[in-house]
Amino acid sequence: MARKKIRNWIALTILFFSLVAIVITGFGTDGTGGLGSLTGGSTPQGTELARVGSRPVTTTEANDQFNESFQNLQQRLPNLQIAEFVNQGGFEGALDQLIALEAMRQFGEARGIVVTRRMQDRFIVTSPEFQFARIGDNFDNNLFQRALQQAGYTEARVRADISRQLLQRQLLAPIQAGFRTPLGVAKAYAVVPLEQRSGMIGVVPVGGIQRSLNPTEAEIAAYYQRFRDYFSVPERRVIKYAVLGADQVTVTAPTDAEIRAVYANTPRYQQIETRTLQSITFSGTQAQQQADAFAARVRGGTSFIDAAQAAGFQASDVTFANQSQAQFGTVTSADVSAQSFRAPQGGLIGPVRSPLGVHVVRVEAIMRSSGQPLEAVRPAIVAELERRKRSAAINALATQLEQQITEGMSFEDAARGARLQVVTTPPITAQGLQSNRRPLPNISADLRAVLPAAFEMDADGGDPVVAAIQADARYALVGVERSEPAAPPPLAEIRELVRGQLISRTALVRAKQIADGIAARINAGMPIAQAFAQAGIPLPPPETISTRRQVIMNAQAPEALRLFFRLRPGTAAVIAAPNNGGWMIAAPTQSVRGRDEDAAQNVAVIRQELTQSTPVEAERQLLRAMELSVGVQRNAAAIRAERRRIAASMGVGAPAQ
């Protein structure tokens, strides 16, 4: 959701206020600030952010409304985070709403449009939101007051919110009530997409012009000097690194004792027994008697499940399927679980007392896996032991290198002592680019992995570092040979880049001049084909266009086609082709209005859409007119400062634009 969308959503919630959330769920402010205080009778607290008429709107009110707006919107968008709400204009939208409501109050008051206490009383007594306080034909004020107290609201706050809603009904609701778009307007809109346009769209591509250009060395040098900053590249570093991994360490073969130890301590290799158990636990002063009676019923022939249901338990409450001894011990106790795993299938254990109560357990089923013999899994265990030893050796070597660097050993001496092969790069950026802005050819995965570490180091005499390429498996000793600050590279290094840029820029300028000339000739009355023929260079013939306006009513429509429908027939204009590929000339020659009979089937839909959208815009305009009538002054600096304060308190960055 875009920043503007959230801000506009808040502004448009003025008419969609409900007391249900306030009185029943009690979310919002503490009942002392926010919109309820916009009644003109109290002095607002906090820094002034805006002034509506003679009344200030302060940070305290704005923050209260900000919280309420966020919670309202979060009901519609449950995944909305407050940081996102702030970044997308939530605070500004809440302030806009406060200003609009206060302007509406002052506008109505100046014209004798007010809400009396009797109107508030009638609303409270008759509104469905307060139906919980109505008993028959009577309204129980005690129930009403208790509900307000539980929700953390005062009666004064609720009455103020009711006043706001009733004032909105009087001033804004009439705009919606009974509004309907006139049929003639709907027909006019329905015909617009059916407009048929004919003409031509042509292009002056840059490709042919580029191939004809061959700038001199002096022109290339002059272009380089003129746009030196453009050709600047970020800091480049000559990086030296030495990889240490499996090839740099030697490990001993696993012994038979090591293999057998892994086998014995790997559960999936062993025979595993699980059981499905029926277990019930009694607690309280009568626990022992209840457990004794339960066990007697089961031993007397009653099924465990039937006995449990008679005691108030469901089958799912007392059935524990596929339990290991350790698992079952977590829901009973170690002793109860041990006894349960010693008993035969069908056996009944207990009553047995534990800290949780008195247990009765029945063994419903016993399942045993066969396990795997040692010789079948020996190769896998050997491979795993070799991996562990190799990782330990690699980590030990990496630790040794770090210690040597800490003690002052140079990069070269450390690499030589560990018999590591050193690789030195040409000057490259943190993204692996050369001075010509092209990637370093055949850049290795190892170098890509160490680039961040190489550019985090101090370029002037910083100690080498050991950087992880793949944890526990591959590391690199990294150093910086030298650093070249951000600057334009020498022309000799980037001559082809500069030459290509000069050719592209020159070709684009010449293509624009040619396209402008074509458009000028068309606008002077020359036929389109003739105007293109007199361009002075070979051009592709312009494309004949005959289409309806509705084709440009989607986001993917080409810009040249949009221009085609903006122009008056008989005229032409120029627009850039995609990807700097040249310039397009749009030249409509004829426009035919759509027929009413063809649009008839769309009139009803368009009329309904306009009927729904027009009142919203009318409300917005009326609120704006009210603000102009009473006078509104916003303190932009104070608003920005408060927004920054809120963002900082929540760890939010700059607002999205």
Please write the tens of the pLDDT for every residue from 308-351. 998 888 888 899 998 988 889 988 999 999 999 999 999 999 89
Give the domain-ending residue among 458, 487, 516.
487
Question: What pLDDT score does 651 carry?
Answer: 52
Q: What sign does the dihedral 231-235-241-243 (CA atoms) show?
A: negative
Domain identity same for 73 and 10: yes
Regions of the chain short of the pLDDT cut 70: 1-45, 176, 178, 461, 650-657
For residue 599, being part of any structural domain is answered with no
CA dist 388 and 610 (Å) reads 71
CA distances from 597 to 195, 462, 520, 552, 600 (A): 13, 80, 38, 22, 5
- Tell me which of 336, 368, 400 is where a domain ends: 368
Q: Is there a domain that residue 305 lies in?
A: yes
Same domain, 291 and 170: no
Asked if the structure places residue 603 within a domain, the reply is no
CA dihedral 550, 551, 557, 560 (to 10 degrees): -90
**In whole angstroms, what is the distance from residue 79 CA to residue 595 CA?**
47
pTM: 0.49
First-to-last C-alpha distance (Å) of the chain: 12
CATH number, residue 295: 3.10.50.40
Which residues, 6+ apart, have CB-to-CB distance to 6 below 8 Å?
73, 85, 88, 89, 90, 93
Instruction: Kindly state whether residues 55 and 154 are assigned to the same domain.
Output: yes
Burial 148-164 (b: 16+ CB within 10 A, else e): beebebeeebbbbbbbb
Identify whether residues 11 and 110 lie together within a single domain: yes
If asked whether residues 318 and 437 sit together in one domain, one would say no
E strands, 105-166, are 134-135, 138-139
Query: Is there a single domain that holds both residue 349 and residue 476?
Result: no
Say if 655 falls within a structural domain. no
- pLDDT value at position 20? 34
Same domain, 282 and 221: no
Q: Which of 366, 279, 353 is nearest to 322 (CA)?
A: 366
One domain for residues 120 and 12: yes
pLDDT at 547: 93
User: How far is residue 267's CA from residue 372's CA, in Å, rounded to a whole number?
Assistant: 10
Say what angle helices 3-11 and 90-110 make with each other, to 10 degrees.
30
Instruction: Domain count for the chain, please give it.
Output: 4
CA 169 from centroid of its chain's CA atoms: 37
Do 81 and 113 fall within a single domain? yes
Structural domain boundaries, residue 439 = 236-245+390-487
Same domain, residue pair 282 and 319: yes
Contact yes or no for 455/430 (Cβ under 8 A): yes
| pLDDT tens digits, one per residue of 508-526 | 999 999 999 999 999 999 9
Q: What is the 3 state secondary structure string of 531-583?
A: HHHCCCCCCCCCEEEEEEHHHHCCCCCCHHHHHHHHCCCCCCEEEECHHHCEE
CA distance 80 to 9: 14
- Residues 326 and 442 reside in one and the same domain: no
Residue 569 within a domain = yes
In a domain, 376, yes or no: no
Residue 364's closest CA among 282, 300, 299, 304?
Answer: 304
Three-class SS state of 362:
strand
What is the SS3 assignment for 629? helix
The answer to whether residue 467 sits within a structural domain is yes
User: How crowded is the C-beta side of 639, counted as CA atoms within 13 Å?
Assistant: 18
Task: Give yes or no: residues 122 and 158 share one domain.
Answer: yes
- What is the model's pLDDT at position 633? 94
8 A C-beta contact, residue 505 and residue 231 = no
The residue among 469, 487, 505 that closes a domain is 487
pLDDT of residue 2: 46
CB 280, CB 352: distance < 8 Å: no
Per-residue confidence (pLDDT) for residue 207, from 0 to 100: 92
